[in-house]
Amino acid sequence: MDEGLLVAILIQLSADHGPEAGHWFLEVGFGNLGSPRPAPFRDLAAALAWIATQADTPSGEGVRDGVRRR
């Protein structure tokens, strides 16, 4: 969420995804997060760091617990 607006939906991949099971996938991204679609992220921290970068948040500052704050 960014200022009360939904910016991305992440899902955790199931065992059906073989070696990527447990990784995080950007199911939907809005605005700057719409494209390009990244490969699955190894962990939630990596996904949140990518979201912060794509959303033009300097150094990921303001991202905590999946919520971007200003």
- pLDDT means per 10 residues, the chain with 70 residues, are 86 96 95 87 94 66 45
The pLDDT of residue 68 is: 47
Residue type, 41: F
pTM of the model: 0.72
The pLDDT of residue 35 is: 82
Neighbours of 23 (CB within 10 A): 18
The pLDDT of residue 13 is: 97
